[in-house]
Structure 1
């Protein structure tokens, strides 16, 4: 898997140090089906004001449906995804797309409820406002997506699938 991750990063033009690659977060969301439902994350910075990450997805890998709710009087996370490599289908609330290019993974497809599909190509970006349900999946070559956001607080994320544990990682 490390070789595949390095290949995706190389294709995207994103350069991480060997130490950063060794410390990538490989989230399996507690579903033990990482190749299908998972996410590889490198966090550059996460302060009370802003956050920057690289999201690396293997071919057809899905980050499951979730939202970033308000945290008390503070709005939830607002994030902009910019595709660096591959194609990624981002699904958000709104009118469902009639002929989606991607379908939810079979393991828990009943927990996907938003089907307004935005296909991001390299150089394209989309901003997700706070508290909006969304999920995303790489196409056949995998994808690398840069995320720029307000403060990231994974503990406050609400996933549609009650089985999900955001803090479950591959070792």
Structure 2
């Protein structure tokens, strides 16, 4: 993706969040100069991979297959292993109409996907079999405290305020219907480098063509632009 396209998507995302009345932490709005001035204060933000994130799954079709998100908080795998401390993660996602977040499951993470407002969100479900393929068995999920049984390949439609709990090995693909959706995610600790399994062989982070200055750093930019000597 071109940096100019990413910058445009970020500006549109910020405008949508303002429209929805959702507020991000201060570092969401930092410029390159702000990051440089903060220095070692940014250590935990970088280590926890907090901040803006965007993917086109390496396909170059962001408007059809992609998503913009922001990680607000994320604990560590070490604390998760001990069962104490910050063992949770929170994200906010912006899904455009008919823009797919492709089929994937998590090896360890359990997550709630929440429609925070906007249009309706469709979530297509499959249970993974022992080989990581689609199973033909029904999928059991909990939606706002009520258990539901969904046939393989069936979907759940979330209206604003509704949510679904997804457990490990439950494939999910989702998209906004008719209007953009502000999607919340509350989960156990997130590890995008090792805990995602996509049904198709796709990438997680975009390859970026630098055709203009960075507007906001993405999480994937941190190793290149921001990792200071004390983290190396």
Q: TM-score, normalised on structure 2?
A: 0.58
CA change 1:18–1:33 in 2 (3 A) is farther
> What is the match of residue 154 of structure 1?
192
Distance 1:34 1:87 in 2: 20
Aligned match for 1:79, one of 100, 108, 111: 111
Q: TM-score, normalised on structure 1?
A: 0.76
What are the equivalent positions in structure 2 for 1:73-152 lying under 5 Å apart? 76-85=108-117, 86-93=119-126, 95=138, 115-152=153-190
**Aligned-pair RMSD on alpha carbons?**
2.2
Q: CA deviation at 1:13?
A: 2.3
Write out the 4+ residue segments of structure 1 that deviate beyond 4 Å after TM superposition.
Answer: none
SS in 2 for 1:165: coil
CA change 1:9–1:30 in 2 (3 A) is same
Distance 1:11 1:88 in 2: 18
User: Is contact 2:111–2:167 with CA below 8 Å preserved after alignment?
Assistant: yes
Q: Deviations over 1:90-142 (max 9, x none)?
A: 1112659xxxxxxxxxxxxxxxxx52211111110110011211110111211
User: Which segment is superposed worse, 4-13 or 24-33?
Assistant: 4-13
SS in 1 for 2:68: strand
User: Is contact 1:39–1:57 with CA below 8 Å preserved after alignment?
Assistant: yes
With a CA cutoff of 8 Å and minimum separation of 6, indicate the structure with the bigger relative contact order.
1
Aligned match for 1:40, one of 64, 68, 71: 68
Distance 2:199 2:58 in 1: 14
* Long gaps (5+) in structure 2: 1-8, 31-50, 77-86, 127-136, 140-151, 210-232
Distance 1:58 1:125 in 2: 18
User: Is contact 2:54–2:205 with CA below 8 Å preserved after alignment?
Assistant: no
How many residues are treated as equivalent by the alignment? 147
> What is the match of residue 57 of structure 1?
95
User: Is contact 1:26–1:169 with CA below 8 Å preserved after alignment?
Assistant: no
> What is the match of residue 14 of structure 1?
22
* Long gaps (5+) in structure 1: 70-75, 97-113
From the CA coordinates, give the structure whose radius of gyration is larger.
2
